[in-house]
Structure 1
Amino acid sequence: MADYAERRRTMVDTQVRPSDVTSFPVLDAMLTIPREAFVPDAMRDLAYAGAPITLTGSRQLMEARNIAKILQALDLQPGELVLEIAPGLGYTTALLASLVDAVVAVEEDASLAADAEAALSAQEIDNAAVLHAPLTAGSAKNGPYDVIVAFGGVQEVPQSLIDQIKEGGRIMAVFMQGALGEARLGRKIDGAMSWRVEFNATAPVLPGFARVPGFVF
């Protein structure tokens, strides 16, 4: 039987800490949440490898180091409400739920949404809900949110999501340009987003988040 607790410690010591992740709450979450419980059964032995894990089609679970770096950059606080876009099988949802008051996760793949809800329930995580809905729609009725985060690629963030962020709130995702990408943190100031680059990263662009080409004569 695999010693997943030991693999978690090794992941944190060899992948997360060397990536300048020093936040004790983030490190504790990465050491506590069982990543192997949120990947396809056939991929459990690869759960702690330092690479993305394919969930279905183009959807991936991001490598642990980049998840941790995003969590650290967001500087999440215990009382905050978070909207997560595209939770996949719920690993990042579980991490978020250990750091904030509540998480609303929106997943448009019905199978992933059902499996994520089951995995979170099995881990007795009761402050996170997975909703089956289009990713770009978010969940306005449960907002506004302190934080919106996608552990995946985007080319642009639709106004429909920006409208669901509180004034002063944050958005974070990996912005892709071709094969290259940047994890950017945005803050809502006077109703508009102000962005800064946190680190380089790549991730498949999530459904609905590709830039719509402009009409060219």
Structure 2
Amino acid sequence: MNLEQARFNMIEQQIRPWDVLDPGVLELLHFVHREDFVPEAHRAQAFVDTELPLSATRRMLAPKVEARLLQELKLQRHEKVLEIGAATGHLAALLGRQAQRVIALEADAGLATQAAANLRRAGALNVTVLNQDGAAGLAAEEPFDAILLSGSVAELPQALLNQLKVGGRLIAIVGTGPVMRAVLVTRTGAGEFRRVELFDTVAGRLPGFAEAPAFSF
């Protein structure tokens, strides 16, 4: 496989058509090599427009979804970011190139180990991976400028929103299949938040988050 041609095709045929046009994000996708974060068994599919299986219950987000979430977060170089669902570390590496510091939580011990190793090899020295559940966030390190959930949840816990700075942003994929939406929540005051729905998509569930209660009749 010609990796650079495959990477170029991924960006031009999948990512740009999904309204990812930020030059900084597009440059990062060339610089941070996605294939280095894909398990060996699926490396030939690193640039395919689909989620990739990482374990029985976890998946790596599709390239265009990762890119769009990164673009919508609009990170600044001085910011501190919390990622929930590090998986193999690819999105954490991208975040680390835009922010001052990234803390990535991963509930699966095996994936946390892989992510830490992948990030070391990539030289992402400002990214820390912690093997722990992410539903409660990381109160010891709050407040955060940005929080990114790298997978879907049924509902957003208020505990995560409360760990944002005023002006901070949280982005996540929320809902139950087949209807899910990426949403951006900005903290506008001490107890005030503004929510914007960005785009429709579907993504695998993050572990540890409660499901929405079922309707009863």
TM-score range, shorter chain: over 0.9
Deviation at 1:193, TM superposition (A): 2.6
Taking the aligned partners of 1:31 and 1:37, their CA distance within structure 2 comes to 12
Q: For residue 194 of structure 1, what is the aligned residue in structure 2? A: 194
Q: For residue 127 of structure 2, what is the aligned residue in structure 1? A: 128
Aligned-partner residue type, residue 86 of structure 2: P
Secondary structure of 1:136's counterpart equals coil
Deviation at 1:142, TM superposition (A): 2.0
% identical aligned pairs: 37
Paired residues for 1:10-25 under 5 Å: 10-25=9-24
Deviation at 1:3, TM superposition (A): 2.8
Q: For residue 101 of structure 1, what is the aligned residue in structure 2? A: 100
Secondary structure of 2:165's counterpart equals strand
Taking the aligned partners of 1:53 and 1:215, their CA distance within structure 2 comes to 32
Deviation at 1:13, TM superposition (A): 1.0
Secondary structure of 1:98's counterpart equals helix
Deviation at 1:58, TM superposition (A): 2.1
Aligned-partner residue type, residue 209 of structure 1: F
Contact 1:4 1:34 in 2 (8 A): no
Contact 1:88 1:112 in 2 (8 A): yes
Contact 1:176 1:205 in 2 (8 A): no
Taking the aligned partners of 1:4 and 1:140, their CA distance within structure 2 comes to 40
Aligned-partner residue type, residue 86 of structure 1: G
- Which segment drifts farther, 85-94 or 49-58? 49-58
Secondary structure of 1:77's counterpart equals coil
Paired residues for 1:158-169 under 5 Å: 158-169=157-168
Aligned-partner residue type, residue 117 of structure 2: A
Deviation at 1:211, TM superposition (A): 2.9
Secondary structure of 1:187's counterpart equals strand
Secondary structure of 1:49's counterpart equals coil
Contact 2:154 2:210 in 1 (8 A): yes
Taking the aligned partners of 2:84 and 2:104, their CA distance within structure 1 comes to 6
Aligned-partner residue type, residue 94 of structure 2: L
Deviation at 1:216, TM superposition (A): 6.6
- Which segment drifts farther, 97-106 or 153-162? 153-162
Deviation at 1:159, TM superposition (A): 2.3
Contact 1:176 1:203 in 2 (8 A): no
Q: For residue 40 of structure 2, what is the aligned residue in structure 1? A: 41
Contact 2:154 2:212 in 1 (8 A): no
Taking the aligned partners of 1:163 and 1:196, their CA distance within structure 2 comes to 17
Deviation at 1:137, TM superposition (A): 2.5
TM-score by length of 1: 0.94
Aligned-partner residue type, residue 117 of structure 1: A
TM-score by length of 2: 0.94
Taking the aligned partners of 1:212 and 1:17, their CA distance within structure 2 comes to 33
Taking the aligned partners of 1:44 and 1:24, their CA distance within structure 2 comes to 26
- Unaligned residue ranges in structure 1 (runs of 5+): none
Secondary structure of 2:149's counterpart equals strand
Contact 1:148 1:171 in 2 (8 A): yes
Contact 1:182 1:200 in 2 (8 A): yes
Q: For residue 90 of structure 1, what is the aligned residue in structure 2? A: 89
Deviation at 1:12, TM superposition (A): 0.7
- Unaligned residue ranges in structure 2 (runs of 5+): none
Taking the aligned partners of 2:104 and 2:52, their CA distance within structure 1 comes to 19
Q: For residue 153 of structure 1, what is the aligned residue in structure 2? A: 152
Distance 1:180 1:120, change over 3 A: same
Secondary structure of 1:13's counterpart equals helix
Paired residues for 1:65-80 under 5 Å: 65-80=64-79
Aligned-partner residue type, residue 106 of structure 1: L
Secondary structure of 1:152's counterpart equals strand
Secondary structure of 1:151's counterpart equals strand
